[in-house]
Amino acid sequence: MRADRLLSLVLLLQARSGASAPELAERLEVSVRTVLRDVAALSAAGIPVYTERGRSGGIRLLDTYRSGVAHLSQAEGAGLAVGQRRLAADLGLGDALDMAIEKIASAGGRALRSGVEQGRARVMVDVDPWHRSGEAVPLLPALHDAVIQGRRVELDYRDSESRDRRVTTDPLGLVAKAGVWYLVTADSALFRVSRIRDLTVRLEPAVRPDGLDLATTWAQLRERVEVRPRDLAVTISVRPEALGRVQRILGITGAGPVLHARFDGVAHAVGSLLGFGAQVEVLAPPEVRAGLAAAARSVISLYQPGA
């Protein structure tokens, strides 16, 4: 339809200042003559479009002109940057993302709206791993505001060993990894947002070293975690019916029933293997067998009558 084409032409001119008539004709899949007629129609309708001659000329909109349909708010832009509905909702931007998509779909005409509707109906992105829903992150929107404003923050933080500490730090950015939110700081530290118990946003600006960016810092942190050596080798015997599940959860391969896995230490091995119950037997080393036996006795004593 011509109305859709005229709106698409306005959006193209906003995105590409000084585009030539042949370039626009190719993008819109019409003739150059049709583009020139559409430009004349836009001008007659009061849209500030004009043509400049010369080598660096082309068809232009006044720099001050913005289409009301495509004009997105700051929150809507932030929602688009996140992209995924559940993660945007964690940041308090779920409605803003929906509105941004609605504006863009409306500006693009029937074809774009149809594509958005079909995509939503037929493609879904679930960012959470199996057997685990998203973590509660009530402080994430306030933390996101502090990151965007470039403010220093104080955190009441409980680490993985259940130790509480007060930390003053300079945020670099936020990362969502497999549905889990992390705060990355300017000194390359990593904080799991769900473990932040309280947050104070300071008035002074966060200090960000020159040349430091979130993508590079996150890649370094991720490599540090993923390449961390697991020094404890454990040999296990697995029952046939549990072989696939054990391989999948522990990330190991082998024909079975005897498999070899590596862990960070005895506590890591015991915690990882205890949930398999009698489907997995540790053959070596002895300290892991002893750790599992002690853990099993603790569970039995907890559920014995009169305990």
What is the tens place of the pLDDT at every residue in 51-77?
887 776 788 887 666 555 556 778 888
Is the confidence at residue 181, as pLDDT, over 80?
A: yes
DSSP state string for 137-158 = -TTHHHHHHHHHHTEEEEEEEE
Select 140-226's CATH number: 1.10.3470, 2.30.30, 2.60.40, 2.60.200.
Answer: 2.30.30
Q: Considering the chain, what percentage of its residues have pLDDT values greater than 70? A: 91
Is the confidence at residue 307, as pLDDT, over 60?
A: no
Q: Side chain identity at 219, as an amino acid letter? A: A
Q: Which residue has the higher pLDDT, 130 or 265?
A: 265
pLDDT score recorded for residue 68: 53
For tokens 């933080």, what's the residue? 157
- Per-range mean pLDDT, top range of 15-24, 101-110, 201-210: 201-210
Q: What is the model's pTM?
A: 0.64
Q: What is the mean pLDDT of residues 162-166?
A: 91
Q: Longest C-alpha distance within the chain, in Å?
A: 94
Over residues 82-140, the pLDDT tens digits come to: 888 889 999 999 888 888 887 777 666 677 778 888 888 898 888 887 767 778 999 99
pLDDT score recorded for residue 139: 96
Q: What is the mean pLDDT of residues 1-26?
A: 77
Domain with CATH 3.30.1390 in the chain: 232-303
Select 2-61's CATH number: 3.40.50.11440, 3.40.50.300, 1.10.10.10, 3.40.1120.10.
Answer: 1.10.10.10
With CA atoms as reference, report the closest residue to 119 among 130, 99, 105, 103: 105
Banded pLDDT at 23 (limits 50, 70, 90): confident
Domain with CATH 1.10.10.10 in the chain: 2-61
Domain with CATH 2.30.30 in the chain: 140-226
CATH node for 232-303: 3.30.1390
pLDDT score recorded for residue 95: 87
Q: Which residue has the higher pLDDT, 116 or 184?
A: 184
| Cis bond upstream, residue 257 (ω within 30) | yes
Over residues 209-261, the pLDDT tens digits come to: 888 899 999 999 998 877 667 789 999 999 999 999 999 898 888 887 999 99
pLDDT score recorded for residue 219: 92
